[in-house]
Every structure is written in C-alpha cells, then in structure tokens.
Amino acid sequence: MSKGYFGEFGGQFVAELLIPPLKELEDALENIVPSEAFQKEFSDYLKNYVGRESPLTHCPTLSTDLGFNLYLKREDLNHTGSHKINNVLGQALLAKHMGKKALLTETGAGMNGVATATAARALDMDCIVFMGAVDVERQSHNVRRMKLLGATVVPVEAGSKTLKDAINEALRFWIKKQATHHYCFGTAAGPHPFPTLVREFQSVVGKEARKQIIERTGALPHSVIACVGGGSNAIGIFSGFVDDCSVNLIGVEAAGTGEEGCTNSAPLCLGTAGILHGQKTMLLQDADGQIMPSHSIAGGLDYPGVGPEHAHLHHCGRAEYVKVNDMQTLHAFKALTRAEGIMPALESSHAVAYVLENKDKFPKGCNVIVNLSGRGDKDMDIVEQYTELFD
C-alpha cells in the first residue's frame, strides 16, 4: 500500500479505467525520466526555451525595512510568466517519448493552461484545456492567450464551475482519450505518480535556489517560503532544502477574506484528511465528505485540496503551513511592486505577505528566500478594483 504514498497521504484513488494510463506513466517516470537522453533534452529546454536558470533577486528596500535579507526566486521570469512551465515542459516531453500526440490539462487561474498550450506548441502536439466556466469568465486574459496558442478551451459547467470541477472533467476526458492523450496534471497533486512526477520537474527551482543562495551568502537560508495551491511551486523549492534540517520550510495557504468561517483555500491549516482527485490528502470538506467550495483572490490557489506530499510534510512537521488573507496579499502585492519594481502574481504575493506580516519571526540579518512563482500582469484587473491601495 505504500506505493505512491507520502506517509499516510497520496495513493491512486481513481477509476479502474485510469489505472492503465497511470501505470504507463509510472513506468515512464521510472525508465524514461532518469535517462541521460531525457534529462539532457529537458535541461536544454529549460535553459534555451524557458530561460533558466531564473535569478535569485535580493530586495534592497524591503530588506532594509525588515531587518533581514529577502531574496526572491524569480520564477516570474520564466517563459509564460510562472513556474508552471517547468512541469508542463517536462510532462510534454515525457508524453512525446511515450508516443502521445496530444496534451490535456485543467486550469484554474489559467497559468497552467497557458503553460501547457505553450509546451504543446513547442513540442508540436495538440492541446485541450478544461476550465471551470466561472474561471473562464474571470480569467479571460489567459483564456485568450490559450486560444491564440491554438489550444481548445472547454468551459466546464458542472459543480462549482471552478478548478476542482475542471479536474473532474479532465479525468473523465482522459478515460476516453488515454490512448492518444497525456494528462498534463498542473500541480503536485492528483493520483500517483503525478505528485512525484511534478515534484521531479519542479525540483530544478530548489536546486538552483540552494546553489544560488550559497554562492551569494555562503550559507543556507534561514527560511524558504512559498505559496501553496496544489503545491507545485512550493514542493519544487522545498525539495532543494528538505534534507537541510536547519532550513525552515514555510508553505503559505490562502485564507480567503480571512474572517472566522470564511470560504478559503487553506486545507492544511483549516481542512481535514480525505480523498479527492485520486489522492488521500487534506481537504476542505464538510462532515459528510462533500468537498466545499474554495476561495482566494489568487485564482491559482483556489483549490480545496493540496498535494499529498505537503499533507505529509505538514503531518510530520518538517514544513510549517500558515495562511494569509486577501487584503494582506494585496498589501504585499503593492509593497513589492513599489519597493522593488517587481509585480508579483497574487499567488506569490501570499508568500511575500507572510514575510511582511511576520517579520518578528525572522532573526535580524538572516537570509530568507521567497519563491516568486509568477508575475502579476495577469492580476492587474483584480488589483485595480482596490483603488484605495494605489494612490
């Protein structure tokens, strides 16, 4: 029973009809991914297409305010504007090696959809993206990008019409099309082997960050902080430091509007263990096991579950999980934009906000890395609704 498990979390809770494609993928993860040829091809893409390595940027102005050194791992500078491309390019390449002709995926805020549509073009594959109808509406900018990239975007009208429903629909579609399509799961969640596969492809973030901070400061950082939606950017950077016991790993969940009992996206902080989308993990659910709607100002965090490895790191205490609300996030968005000229995605702004709101928790002079998972251009419409912040 331990295959695909992280402690008690993980597994492969899917329809029997999906077992064969998942097994095919497990095989590919074991046999293709570690091969020298694949690794070379993947790192060529990361370097020459995505633009890696991404820099580690010191924030002089905020650091002065905070009394310790804030460094940003700049995933916002990747091609397509977030860390998502690391994973989808890895998966697309793997799919190609597996003989698949097309990619299918789900998307919430649209970043994974854009990244997947892009990887499909880079590797000359077809692409279909499932997206909750509500998200299609509120993330029209990214829908348009996907369409320009030639992807088919399918609005999902079922359930809450958001990410979780898009995943349901993608799983359904995959049952039908498993022969030709690879399901390019967008975050380090879902049934085994996705959490492992996605971590594998995102681990470049942690490897680079570790090397960079040591080069720059001569030492390991005090803390590494990342926002957690499904958990891919967080697991990517954490994986570089998880064996360094001295390094605090802090995952920041979305508290939504923040008042007691509000709709949120913080299953580790506020949820309970359960089973959804093929995995045993922490979930937002009612006492009957029905999944509750989630909310965050950051579309990419708006998911009632979380990758099982985070559930495990939480459970065993290796990483700490905290939450930040919408207004704190907006303030952090503004603070970073104004202090350093870097407009963070609202997802990433959660991680920044945790640092700004909790500066007393970090010793003077220490070095802290925040994973800046994406850029904020996509969020301008949302941010500008809060005009009182920007005058």
**What is the binding site for a copy of itself (CB under 8 A)?**
47-51, 54-58, 60-61, 74, 76-79, 81, 117-122, 124, 141, 144-145, 147-150, 334, 337-343, 377, 380, 383-384, 390
Strands (E), the chain: 5-6, 9-13, 56-58, 69-74, 102-107, 126-132, 152-156, 181-183, 223-227, 248-254, 272-276, 278-283, 319-324, 367-372
Among 11, 267, 271, 374, binds other proteins (CB under 8 A): 11
Partner touching 374 among ligand PLP, other proteins, a copy of itself, none, CB below 5 to 8 Å by kind: ligand PLP
Which residues partner with 369 through β-bridges? 71, 224
CB 85 within 8 Å of CB 79: yes
**In the bound complex, what is the minimum distance in angstroms from residue 350's beta carbon to other proteins?**
25
In the bound state with a copy of itself, the residue whose beta carbon lies nearer, of 308 and 344, is: 344
> Is residue 83 helix, strand or coil?
coil
**In the bound complex, what is the minimum distance in angstroms from residue 16's beta carbon to ligand PLP?**
27
**In the bound complex, what is the minimum distance in angstroms from residue 87's beta carbon to ligand PLP?**
8
Closest Cα partner for 180 from 109, 235, 104? 104
CB 195 within 8 Å of CB 84: no
Partner touching 109 among ligand PLP, a copy of itself, other proteins, none, CB below 5 to 8 Å by kind: ligand PLP
Has 59 been annotated as catalytic? yes
- For other proteins, which stretch binds (CB under 8 A), given 52-60, 213-221, 250-258, 275-283? 275-283
**In the bound complex, what is the minimum distance in angstroms from residue 363's beta carbon to a copy of itself?**
24
CB 69 within 8 Å of CB 365: yes
**In the bound complex, what is the minimum distance in angstroms from residue 341's beta carbon to a copy of itself?**
3
Which residues partner with 273 through β-bridges? 282
In the bound state with ligand PLP, the residue whose beta carbon lies nearer, of 68 and 188, is: 188
Partner touching 339 among ligand PLP, other proteins, a copy of itself, none, CB below 5 to 8 Å by kind: a copy of itself
- From residue 164 to residue 203, the character string flagging contacts with other proteins as x (rule: CB under 8 A) and all else as - is xx-xx--xx--xx-x-------------------------
Binding stretches for ligand PLP (CB under 6 A): 82, 84, 108-109, 111-112, 187, 227-234, 300-301, 345, 347-348, 373-374
Q: Is 48 exposed, middle or buried (0-12, 13-18, 19+ CB in 10 A)?
A: exposed
17 binds other proteins (CB under 8 A): yes
Closest Cα partner for 52 from 238, 208, 235, 215? 208
Among 108, 221, 231, 278, binds other proteins (CB under 8 A): 278
CB-facing half-sphere around the CA of 104: CA atoms within 13 A:
20
10 is written with which tokens? 């993980």
Longest dimension (CA), the chain: 57
Has 97 been annotated as catalytic? no
Contact partners, residue 126, CB within 8 Å, separation at least 6: 101, 102, 103, 120, 152
**In the bound complex, what is the minimum distance in angstroms from residue 76's beta carbon to a copy of itself?**
8
285 is written with which tokens? 């659910």
Catalytic, out of 79, 83, 315, 316 = 83
Sites for other proteins among residues 279-308 (CB under 8 A): 283, 285, 287-291
Among 7, 8, 13, 138, binds other proteins (CB under 8 A): 13
**Active site members:** 59, 83
